[in-house]
Structure 1
Amino acid sequence: MRTERSKQSRQEIMRKILDAAIAEFSQHGFQGASTQAIAERAQLKKSQLHYYIEDKEALYAQVLGMVLDSWRSFFVFDSDAKQSPREALSEFVRVKLDYALENPELSRIFTMEVLSGGARLENYWPGAMEATHAKVAKINSWVAEGALRPLDGRLLIMHIWALTQYYSDYTLQAEMLLESPLTAPDVRQKIEQELIQFVLSGAGLRA
């Protein structure tokens, strides 16, 4: 019983540490964040924090890995042949937007890492590129079949990324323009519908 309680307690503490790290890294990037600030957010002493983590670099790698692993597992076109291009692209936009709206801090960490030169992404690029190439190949096959207008699958993926990522990277601006929090159900639904229609129309499909 004591072992189970200890395990649960450790998991809870690690969850607090990860939440604190996500908040700090999303606001200040790797260079600007400090283990002291992370410890304070997690309501721990700095010495306690280092009992659970190796160092800031290892903690940052763990958080960055969470982002890349999520994107790699979530954004996969259904291999079911019955899924039409319209359905697949609509779902892709929807899932990517959901992640941006529900995990804005994690999304911003990736953006800040890219803007800083992306030195710590080197180990993640192979897996990310493999997943992206699979989607590109599927899109290009639809183009070859005449299901989509002539387009470059890579650019379509990049455009969907840019359109959805905006809502995590520029949340403040978006909420100022819309005069509403992005978490409001009606606003979220409107954004989703507009984005899906925009992407489908751009790909030569009716929404």
Structure 2
Amino acid sequence: MVELKTEPKKLSRIQQRNRDLITDAGLNVFSQYGFRGATLDQIAEASGLSKPNILYYFTGKEDIYVTLLNRILDGWLDPLDELDPNGDPISEIVAYVERKMEMSRKYPRESRLFANEIIQGGTRVLDHIEVDIKPQIDAKIAVIQGWIDTGQLAQVDARHLLTSIWATTQHYADFEAQTQLFLGEGDRVLTEGTEFLTALFRKALQPG
């Protein structure tokens, strides 16, 4: 389980710079190799700092990894939190898809790090997700189910709908190499992907 921790306070400008260098390097390394495949030596090389210097700021590889996971989990639900129960159902779902695609555009490394953690069993996050995040997701699923029950959305499974949105939007970040191979590189791909997915979900959710 991820233990929420408070980062050191009153860091000097240089200390904050070094912490940022370490966490950014860790994000690069962990998103590429996962926790098991990453090493402190790789993080040191990517950050341009020595291993002893890194250990001055963090107790070890796991400390850096957990710090990054905490940051990711803090913002993971932000796009879903914006779902307005009083809004137009289809517009709200489509806007959620757009926000998820924007996260794939802005935070591909974070998405891959989280995906790698789940692929490797999610031992550092699943308890936290079950206790703190799943209830929030369940609340939004209840909103979507209410729209379905009142005929404002097509008769779909609300849970599988959310899962499908996660799978399709996060794919652009988590499988970036494959996406680039088949679709090309650059923002154009994500723009076209957003247009395709919003049209797809808009059509699929129209009540019959």
TM-score by length of 1: 0.89
**Aligned equivalents of 2:35 and 2:106: distance in 1?**
22
Work out which of the residue numbers 74, 97, 100 in structure 2 matches 1:96.
100
CA contact (8 A) 2:97 2:197 kept: yes
**Aligned equivalents of 1:99 and 1:67: distance in 2?**
11
Higher relative contact order (CA 8 A, sep 6+): 2
Equivalent residue of 2:154, what SS? Answer: coil
Q: Which residue of structure 2 aligns with residue 32 of structure 1?
A: 37
Where does structure 2 lack aligned partners over 5 or more consecutive residues? 1-9
Work out which of the residue numbers 20, 42, 63 in structure 1 matches 2:47.
42
Identity of matched residues, %? 29
Aligned length: 198
The AA in structure 2 aligned to 1:158 is T
The AA in structure 1 aligned to 2:204 is G
CA deviation profile, 1:60-100 (whole Å, cap 9, x unmatched): 1111122211112332134462x211221111101111111
How does 1:115-154 map onto structure 2 within 5 Å? Answer: 115-125=119-129, 126-154=131-159
The AA in structure 2 aligned to 1:163 is T
Q: Which residue of structure 1 aligns with residue 191 of structure 2?
A: 189
Q: Which residue of structure 2 aligns with residue 58 of structure 1?
A: 63
**Aligned equivalents of 1:86 and 1:205: distance in 2?**
10
CA contact (8 A) 1:68 1:124 kept: no
State the 4+ residue runs in structure 1 displaced beyond 6 angstroms: none
Is 1:74 equivalent to 2:79 in the alignment? yes
**Aligned equivalents of 1:52 and 1:19: distance in 2?**
14
Q: Which residue of structure 1 aligns with residue 4 of structure 2?
A: none
TM-score by length of 2: 0.88
**Aligned equivalents of 1:127 and 1:28: distance in 2?**
27
Q: How far off its partner does 1:101 sit?
A: 2.1
Work out which of the residue numbers 15, 20, 32 in structure 1 matches 2:20.
15
**Aligned equivalents of 2:47 and 2:113: distance in 1?**
18
The AA in structure 1 aligned to 2:44 is A
How does 1:136-175 map onto structure 2 within 5 Å? Answer: 136-175=141-180
